[in-house]
């Protein structure tokens, strides 16, 4: 794929989820490592978290998602659209604090207090190595969805905020494809879907009592991808 890279059909992807009890909207994923279980660690990877290739994809994802919302926020609100700040990558607890709370390791989040998005590069590296380049697009689109929620009327924000962010992520990425902001390649859909569903089935961030199980999250993402923004509010 030339330029911004996102591969496959979007209909069956799911995004990661928020960490409970944190004053941020984020996503934490635990990946299988060579030594067992490790948060934000890639198995058998020689790439460092500062990989230029991955960081380039992060920049592309920010450009693509940002361009989509500049074009389409008006479909949901008459308010002027002001994009969130992009704090970008950090390592461990060395990232930006949110409302006095340190940056969470192995996480990606939207901070309402500071109106910014940030992510642990170890999380991004782990997903990039084990899932593929589309991982960074899903994570950034999901967290940007939380930023959009903060810009909507309260009546437009679902009680199931994580599922709504999944829906907005699906609408964003499919909409970006439709707008020609990013081009799909065949082959990565099964890889992404299989990896994310496997994580959802095994780890507590997919607890249906908190954020929705794999089926619910996939359906939410698919609703946005097939129905657009109006399907999410």
Which of 176, 175, 179, 212 lies closest to 197, judged by CA?
212
pLDDT of residue 26: 54
pLDDT of residue 170: 87
pLDDT of residue 41: 32
pLDDT of residue 28: 45
pLDDT of residue 16: 32
Contact 123/139 with Cβ under 8 angstroms? Answer: yes
The structural domains of the chain, with segments of one domain joined by +, span 25-32+58-227
pLDDT along the chain (233 residues), means of 10: 35 30 42 30 38 87 97 97 95 92 91 96 87 82 95 93 88 92 69 49 44 72 91 96
Sequence-separated (6 or more) residues with CB below 8 Å from residue 79: 151
Residue 91 C-alpha from the chain's centroid: 17
pLDDT of residue 188: 52
C-alpha count within 13 angstroms, C-beta hemisphere, residue 98: 24
Tell whether pTM > 0.85.
no
Q: Are strands 30-33 and 25-28 parallel, antiparallel or unpaired?
A: unpaired
> Interhelix angle for 161-178 vs 134-149, to 10°?
120
From the number of C-beta atoms within 10 Å of its C-beta (0-12, 13-18, 19+), residue 182 rates as buried
Q: What is the CA radius of gyration of the chain?
A: 16
């Amino acid at each position: 794929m030339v330029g911004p890279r996102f591969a496959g059909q979007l209909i069956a992807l799911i995004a990661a989820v928020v960490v409970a009890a944190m004053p941020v909207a984020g996503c934490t994923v635990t990946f299988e490592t060579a030594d067992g279980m490790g948060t934000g660690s890639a198995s058998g990877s020689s790439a460092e978290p500062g990989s230029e290739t991955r960081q380039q994809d992060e920049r592309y994802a920010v450009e693509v998602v940002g361009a989509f919302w500049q074009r389409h926020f008006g479909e949901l609100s008459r308010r002027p659209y002001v994009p969130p700040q992009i704090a970008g990558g950090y390592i461990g607890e060395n990232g930006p604090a949110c409302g006095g709370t340190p940056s969470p390791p192995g996480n990606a989040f939207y901070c309402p207090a500071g109106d910014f998005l940030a992510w642990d590069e170890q999380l991004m590296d782990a997903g990039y190595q084990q899932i593929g380049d589309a991982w960074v697009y899903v994570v950034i689109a999901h967290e940007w969805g939380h930023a959009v929620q903060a810009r909507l009327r309260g009546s437009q924000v679902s009680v199931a905020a994580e599922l709504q962010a999944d829906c907005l992520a699906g609408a964003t990425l499919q909409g970006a494809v439709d707008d020609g902001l990013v081009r799909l390649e065949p082959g990565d859909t099964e890889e992404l879907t299989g990896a994310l569903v496997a994580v959802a089935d095994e780890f507590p961030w997919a607890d249906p009592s908190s954020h929705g199980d794999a089926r619910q999250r996939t359906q939410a993402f698919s609703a946005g991808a097939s129905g657009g923004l109006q399907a999410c509010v």
